Amino acid sequence: MEDAARSAGQSWKVTLPCTRAEAEALDGEIAAFAMMDRPPVLMTSEAEPDNPDSWQLDAYFEGKPSQAAIKLLRALVPSAAGTKAVIEQLPDEDWVTLSQQGLEPVTAGRFHVRNLATDPEEPGHVNFLIGASRAFGTGQHDTTAGCLVMLDRMRRIGMRFGNVADIGTGTGLLAFAALHLWPRAYATASDIDPVAVEISAENARANGVRLGSGMGQVALYTAAGVDHAALVRRAPYDLLIANILAGPLIELAPSLCALVEDGGTILLAGLLKEQADAVLAAYRAQGMRLAERVDRGDWPTLRLRKRPRIGWRRPVRLDPAERGEAWGFGSI
């Protein structure tokens, strides 16, 4: 048992050869790994500078990869059939940060997100510096970029918000973007992972975002789902963002919707196209309707609006007995 526990916390790398075409096809997130609790980080690079078609795939795992996971990797690079995968345990270091250091900047709507201070800012855009880290949400994932695009679209069509929550904030990026678009709003951001909350605070300082509980500031909390007194106390929200996974989105539907005022908006992301119907059904049962959908690759971003209740104007707040927990699910 002790050996298994140690293995689960260790970092491993699997390397397979691939062609340039296969490497280019891996640009973005891979649906095959979407349901894993801790999906691998995939990186491709040129294996031989003098051979433009010789590339390699490196997959970084937190914990020793299973045979099923290695089989999925092989399916991504058919040219590696018959080649033995190189599987190695890595030293104890922040391998997620190391694997992300070569990420290209991303432009989504009016936002430009770079991961390295040496990358130039993009003129005419809102620039954020979100360094590679152990927290998810650097902007590269199609779900995060999709949320940025949706936020931008909402501002362009004249939508206004004064009380924003970002549940499963990761790096804090989406909360920062929302506060830039609506600078007089109160912003609340939370994550189940205390490391993510620490990283969000660091990113706020790096990007000149004020921390605190006042107008134009971001208040940060560590919480599983919405299981935190401050998250409930600061409700009702007129905009709530949840970029996590389909499972916890469905599980948290009652508690998330309870924190949104009548006529308010929820942005949902982190789900695959084939999961959209199940997620939508869970939120429609809570009085939400689909207002807009934007797809980036296999990953949709859903904008929902809470139907007003005729003859009853006060928002329904979260019942203190309903803790709104979703343990075991991290941010995405």
The contacts found for 154-159 with CB under 8 angstroms, 24 or more apart, are 154/181, 154/265, 154/303, 155/181, 155/182, 159/265
The CA distance from 53 to 46, in Å, is 8
The CA distance from 251 to 321, in Å, is 16
Q: Which of 192, 122, 167, 141 is nearest to 39 (CA)?
A: 141
To which H or E segment does residue 173 belong? helix 173-181
The reply to whether 287 sits in an annotated binding site is no
Tell me which amino acid residue 136 is. Answer: F
Tell me which amino acid residue 258 is. Answer: A
The reply to whether 144 sits in an annotated binding site is yes
The CA distance from 101 to 91, in Å, is 17
The reply to whether 188 sits in an annotated binding site is no
With b for 16 or more beta-carbon neighbours within 10 A and e for fewer, the 292-320 pattern comes to eebebbbbbbbbbbbeeeeeeeebbebee
Tell me if 192 sits within 8 A of 162, measured CB to CB: no
CA distances from 247 to 57, 243, 282 (A): 29, 12, 11
Residue whose structure tokens are 């936002």: 111
The reply to whether 168 sits in an annotated binding site is yes
Per the annotation, where are the binding residues?
144, 168, 191, 243
Residues contributing to the annotated binding site for S-adenosyl-L-methionine = 144, 168, 191, 243
